[in-house]
Amino acid sequence: MRIQDVRTVGVVGCGLMGSGIAEICARAGFQVIVREVDETLLQKGLDRIRASMAKAVERGKLSAAEMEAAWGRIRGTLRMEDFADCDLVIEAVVEEMGTKKQVFAALDRICPPHAVLASNTSSLSITALGSATRRPEKVVGLHFFNPAPVMPLLEIVVGLQTAEETVALGRALGERLNKSVVLSKDRPGFIVNRLLIPYLLDAIRLLEEGVATMEDIDTAMRLGLNHPMGPFTLMDFVGLDTLLFIADAMFEELKDPRYAAPPLLRRMVAAGWLGRKSGRGFYTYS
């Protein structure tokens, strides 16, 4: 299948990542169906899309007419069965293998035979997700970065059985969405998180050891390495629960102590201090 043949894109999940992916696909001219598990979460996600596009209009990145046209291409649903006419479906649910496999098995039953099934996973095996379907050659990783409408990178992850044609479709999609595309083999964490996760966990270890305050660590990494934000600000932005999911999955597969989550991270997630989305993480947000 070529990118010209993709008319309708499905997005499973309308959280931070799913809503962003739905938005950029609609802005690129695709019909978009986005699904959530209940009406409250769906409405919250759709409101987020509307607010994000309004901000793009304010900044001159999008005209008011383009915003209304894109908004008209988005349809929300609570039913997986509504993906029956999709040419491409991108999964963006919680970073947990069992949940994702259930989604892929359901999509495999519901979607037409030609449809490509993609995951926005940031660390889990694309080969394992493909094994939940009868079309592993049409399963690929499309890892967008948060916020998807702003971040310019798309990391394409190639499973053991992913077909070249599927990879080519992913690359063409990235170009259509104005993303820079990089290719990674199916290894834990791929490119970005393979390097990022040990850095973030080491920042927590520095704090636990009393080497420096989190404010000083953030300042040092911003001004010393020209990073846009320090590690603690970044962890709060990503979500500490997401970080823990990724670290645990990578440690499980690699057994490398660099990916072992520090006790402080586990305690904070247990307390519900998840970062910006919960109002408190390493920093407190009003």
Along the 286 residues of the chain, how does pLDDT read in single tens digits? Answer: 899 999 999 999 999 999 999 999 999 999 999 999 999 999 999 999 999 999 999 999 999 999 999 999 999 999 999 999 999 999 999 988 999 999 999 999 999 999 999 999 998 999 999 999 999 999 999 999 989 999 999 999 999 999 999 999 999 999 999 999 999 999 999 999 999 999 999 999 999 999 999 999 999 999 999 999 999 999 999 999 999 999 999 999 999 999 999 999 999 999 999 999 999 999 999 8
Token digits of residue 110 = 């519901």
Q: Can you say whether residue 269 is alpha, beta or left, with left for phi > 0 and alpha for psi between -120 and 50 degrees?
A: alpha
Sheet holding 8-12: strands in order across? 74-77, 31-35, 8-12, 88-91, 116-119, 139-144, 153-158, 180-185
Q: Single out the catalytic residue among 52, 91, 125, 143.
A: 143
- How high is the pLDDT of residue 286? 83
- How high is the pLDDT of residue 95? 87
Token digits of residue 144 = 């967008």
Q: Is 178 one of the catalytic residues?
A: no
Is 172 exposed, middle or buried, given 0-12, 13-18 or 19+ CB atoms closer than 10 A? middle
Q: Is 114 one of the catalytic residues?
A: no
| Amino acid code (one letter) for 29 | G
Calculate the alpha carbon distances from 40 to 48, 74, 193, 215, 242 in Å. Answer: 12, 17, 31, 36, 21
End-to-end Cα, the chain, rounded Å: 47
Of 71, 66, 90, 83, nearest in space to 15 by CA: 90
- How high is the pLDDT of residue 1? 87
Q: Is 193 one of the catalytic residues?
A: yes
Name the pTM for this structure: 0.92
Q: Single out the catalytic residue among 120, 122, 123, 125.
A: 122
Pair 146, 17: CB distance under 8 Å:
yes
Q: Is 123 one of the catalytic residues?
A: no
